[in-house]
Amino acid sequence: MQWTVGDTQREAMAYIPATAKTKASPLIFVFHGHGGTMENAYQSHRFEKLWPEAIIVYPQGLNTPGQLTDPQGKLPGWQKENGDMNNRDLNFFDQMLKTFQADYKIDDKRIYATGHSNGGGFTYLLWATRADVFAAFAPSSAVSRKAAGQLKPKPAMHIMGEQDPLVKPEWQKLMYNMILKLNSCDPQGKPYGEYATYYPSKSGNPVVLYIHPGGHVYPTEADEVVVKFFKAIEKR
């Protein structure tokens, strides 16, 4: 699919179920990491196999200077904070959402975002700037210091590799501990699958922490847990 945002051509791959025009459909946005592509995100996750009734959108980023790698911005990624790059990616998101809501029967209580690394940072930015659109978020291997102070309580799942060499685990722990506090979560979690712990919330905004032993990756095994979590959450 293609959009013109300002004077820039943008694109995304999308899985559209056959029932999308007649039945209220969940909508999931999946943002690749810095240097990634929409094709790679699609091949890596295949969320449509886990939730075939949902519309799954894999947007393509534009060349972006990286915070940890690629300072020249030769590889694709996403804006890092509100106002960055004239909000080119937030504007892209707004146009994508408008198109899907116009062309398909979207279940407005079931809109979700997930993303890895820089795409996880953009997921946090969507939480900070577009929270009312979404039911829940699932960032992977990401932090967003600027967005952190702008978050409102929302159901969330944070995916982290204990050996992440890029986005340090201690940075991510600060982020997810802040979210547990923001969401008024119970201090004691409950098992939610391998590597996953579910923290109930007094405010109705539960958090799942998926802490795996790997590095800077979004494990395919996490996909099932993400979909399980999203399926359980409707926007209130």
Phi-psi region of 16 (alpha: psi -120 to 50; beta: other; left: phi over 0): beta
Q: What is the pLDDT of residues 9-58, one digit of tens each?
A: 999 999 999 999 999 999 999 999 999 999 999 999 999 999 999 999 99
Distance CA 208, CA 114 (A): 13
Task: Tell me which residue of 110, 127, 98 sits closest to 23, measured CA to CA.
Answer: 110
Distance of CA 168 to the CA centre of its chain: 19
Q: Tell whether pTM > 0.85.
A: yes
Q: State the pLDDT at residue 10.
A: 98
Q: Which two tokens stand for residue 206?
A: 């539960």
For residue 174, the model assigns a pLDDT of: 96
The predicted-structure confidence for 167-200, as pLDDT tens digits, reads as follows 999 999 999 999 999 999 999 999 999 999 999 9
* pLDDT value at residue 107: 98
Tell me: the pLDDT tens digits for 107-121? Answer: 999 999 999 999 999
- pLDDT the model gives residue 145: 83
- Confidence label for 103 from pLDDT (cuts 50, 70 and 90): very high
Please state, rounded to an integer, the average pLDDT across all residues of the chain. 96
Give the pLDDT confidence score for residue 148 in this predicted structure.
84
Task: Map tokens 């982020």 to a residue.
Answer: 175
Segments of 163-236 assigned E as strands: 190-191, 196-199, 207-212
Inform me whether the pLDDT recorded for 163 exceeds 90.
yes
Identify residue 155 by its one-letter amino acid code: P
d(Cα 80, Cα 76) in Å, to the nearest integer? Answer: 13
For residues 36 and 188, give the distance between their C-alpha atoms in angstroms, rounded to a whole number.
36
What is the Cα–Cα distance from 89 to 30, expressed in whole angstroms? 13
